[in-house]
Amino acid sequence: MVAYNIYKLLKEELKNGSSDLVTRKSGQAIRERIERDIENEESGEVIALDFSKIGVIDYSCADEIVAKLISRLLSNEYGDKYILLTGLSDNQKENIEVALERKDLAVIAEMRDGERVLLGNLHNYLKDTLDAIQKKGKITAKELSEARKIEANTSGTRLLNLHKKRLVRKIDETRNGTRVWVYERV
Amino acid sequence: MHLSEDTFETFLPGLSNRDVIDLREVTFIDPYGMVGMLEAGRYLSLKNMHKSLILPASGEVLKYLERMDFFKFAERYFSVVPEMPHLPEKYMRSSGSDVLLEITPIEKSDDIHFIVGKVKKRAHAILKKHLHYDERAINGFIVALSEVCQNIIEHSENTGYVGIQKYHFQKLNKNVVKIAVMDLGRGFRGSISERIAVKGDLEAIEKALLQGISRHDDIGRGHGLAAVRRFVKEWNGKISIRSGSAKISIIPDWAWGKEKESRLMPFPGAQISIVLPEI
């Protein structure tokens, strides 16, 4: 996992001494910087956007940075990468969540107290699957079938859908001499 | 005589016909009256009409105008009479604690950072102490302020001013904070009609404020003003948007006014008022 200190990026890009993510124009500058940096990351990398030193995030900036990044991540514009938000305050969470919900997107966030939460929109059955992965760390389709007492096809589809939304990583592992897809938390 | 949102409509029509704007009788002026006066002066200056502004006789009003930095900008658009009121230094800033934000120009994105930074510093002294806002409400206030100010940069294609002050509202026996944000841009109709057909100013304000429609078709856009409306509603405040010749207000129980007004005197840009009471 590689961490991007958003406060540092803000200082470097705007040079106005502000610790707040406000205005669409500022959001655009920060997002473009993040996009440039993401290009240089290795395939499969998890990028943690660290908001811990940021003050306020308004809706326009939340849309311009987080919602657009997630939207483009899902369109495969950044390749096989994952995005996680870290160091969020309750107020930041509230504003980012509104921006994500409006575009029917979701992302995993780690709050300042370390609690992991899902922000945005996700079907309940996918939330349940994600919850299983968050608790276990990683899971196969077979293990999910057994844990949730659902058909193997169903569990496979759910895991694939979560992966398409870049909410879980998909790893090729060999277990007892057999190659299996394992889905693990970002 | 009061110069505020309530009296702005009666004040506006006489402006262009007179060489002298006489404020001697004014005994109360709020951020809306003050920012409105500056924008009116700026508008007239752009039309090569330079007016004289006779200042209020009331020393209290003059002190308030000074605390809000009114004179700093008034001299750009008016010949101020008397030239500069003499106010003893001790009065100039002594009551500054009721000012949440002096009149501040909004011309570029960095100005919003400056405004947010300044209000954050004073939020605890005013919003927490006098309005009893908690951290969540203060955050909501700052976000709403940011959104309403950046509306000017994003949509008006012009510049504007913002001013914020705390008052004790005697009728309610409560403190209130008043925000006034105005610009001389193309207004709601000019902006929204880029994307959809609207019949007039009233419909354009309705679409933006109540339906979250903006000139951009990206679903992430147009959300700022709708969020401001939700914040104001949650904290039992009043919001009014005047643009062109129409005005829409969302009025809580404690306030008054008309919800929808049209056929007002045409005035460019947008004039936004937000009043938030103590909780």
Rounded to two decimals, the ipTM of the complex is 0.89
With residue B101 as reference, give the H or E element that holds it.
Answer: strand B99-106
> What gap in Å lies between CA B233 and CA B46, rounded to an integer?
36
Please tell me the distance in Å from A18's CA to the nearest CA on chain B: 6
Number of domains in chain B: 2
**For residue A120, what pLDDT is reported?**
97
The CATH number that applies at residue B128 is: 3.30.565.10
Reduced to 3 states (helix: H, G, I; strand: E, B; else coil), residue A132 is helix
Beta carbons of A98 and A59 less than 8 angstroms apart? yes
According to CATH, where is 1.10.10.10 located in chain A? 124-185
A25: left (phi over 0), alpha (psi -120 to 50) or beta: alpha
What is the residue-averaged pLDDT of chain B?
90
Beta carbons of B227 and A98 less than 8 angstroms apart? yes
Least confident of A166-175, B153-162, B207-216: B207-216
The CATH number that applies at residue B66 is: 3.30.750
Residue of A nearest to B227 (CA): A59
Beta carbons of B149 and B270 less than 8 angstroms apart? no
Comparing CB atoms, the residue among B112, B219, B221 nearest residue A22 is B112
Residues B265 and B130 in one domain: yes
Under DSSP, the state recorded for B12 is G
Residues B135 and B273 in one domain: yes
**For residue B195, what pLDDT is reported?**
84
pLDDT digits (tens, 9 = 90+) for B53-67: 999 999 999 999 999
Residues B145 and B68 in one domain: no
Beta bridge partners of B240: B249, B273
> What gap in Å lies between CA B81 and CA B20, rounded to an integer?
10
**For residue B92, what pLDDT is reported?**
53
**For residue B268, what pLDDT is reported?**
95
Please tell me the distance in Å from B123's CA to the nearest CA on chain A: 13
> What gap in Å lies between CA B128 and CA B121, rounded to an integer?
12
According to CATH, where is 3.30.750 located in chain A? 2-120
pLDDT digits (tens, 9 = 90+) for B244-262: 999 999 999 999 999 999 9
Please tell me the distance in Å from A91's CA to the nearest CA on chain B: 6
Under DSSP, the state recorded for A65 is I
Residues B130 and B15 in one domain: no
Domain assignment of residue B64, given as a range: 1-94
> What gap in Å lies between CA B223 and CA B108, rounded to an integer?
20
Beta bridge partners of A87: none
**For residue A49, what pLDDT is reported?**
98
With residue B228 as reference, give the H or E element that holds it.
Answer: helix B223-234
**For residue B121, what pLDDT is reported?**
92
Residue located via tokens 């009025």: B251
**For residue B94, what pLDDT is reported?**
46
Q: Which string of DSSP letters, residue by residue, matches A73-112?
A: HHTTTT-S-EEEEEEE-HHHHHHHHHHHHHTT-EEEEEET
Q: Is the pTM of this model over 0.90?
A: yes
**For residue A51, what pLDDT is reported?**
98
pLDDT-based confidence at B220, cuts 50/70/90? confident
Q: Which two tokens stand for residue B114?
A: 């400056």
Residues of A within an 8 Å Cβ radius of B: 14, 16-18, 20, 22-26, 55-60, 63-64, 67-68, 90-91, 94-95, 98-99, 102-103
pLDDT-based confidence at B81, cuts 50/70/90? confident
Q: Which two tokens stand for residue A171?
A: 């790893």
Q: Which two tokens stand for residue B196?
A: 């959809």
Mutate to test the interface with A, among B135, B139, B234 (most CBs of A within 10 A): B139
Residue located via tokens 């483009």: A72
* Domain end residue (candidates: B70, B94, B118): B94
Domain A2-120 coded CATH 3.40.50: no
Residue located via tokens 């473009």: A32
How does strand B20-22 pair with strand B51-54? parallel
Give the CA dihedral B254, B259, B263, B265, nearest 10 degrees: 40
**For residue B90, what pLDDT is reported?**
46
Q: B220 and A103 in contact by Cβ < 8 A?
A: yes
Taking the alpha carbons at both ends of chain B, their separation in whole angstroms is 29
Q: B219 and A102 in contact by Cβ < 8 A?
A: yes
> What gap in Å lies between CA B249 and CA B209, rounded to an integer?
10
Residues B239 and B104 in one domain: yes
Mutate to test the interface with B, among A15, A19, A20 (most CBs of B within 10 A): A20
Which residues lie closer than 8 Å to B127 by C-beta, 6 or more apart? B100, B133, B137, B138, B141, B177
Q: Which two tokens stand for residue A106?
A: 């979701």
**Confidence check: pLDDT of B192 > 80:** yes
> What gap in Å lies between CA A69 and CA A107, rounded to an integer?
10
Architecture of domain A124-185: Orthogonal Bundle (1.10)
Q: Which two tokens stand for residue A101?
A: 């919900």
pLDDT digits (tens, 9 = 90+) for B109-144: 999 999 999 999 999 889 999 999 999 999 999 999
CA atoms within 13 A on the CB side of B87: 21
Angle, vertex CA B74, rays to CA B72 and CA B76, nearest 5: 90
* Domain end residue (candidates: B71, B94, B117): B94
Number of inter-chain CB pairs under 8 A, A vs B: 80
Q: How far is CA B52 from the centre of its chain?
A: 22
Q: What is the mean pLDDT of residues B153-169?
A: 92
Angle, vertex CA B163, rays to CA B162 and CA B169, nearest 5: 140
Low-confidence spans in chain A with pLDDT less than 70: none
Comparing CB atoms, the residue among A20, A98, A102 nearest residue B117 is A20
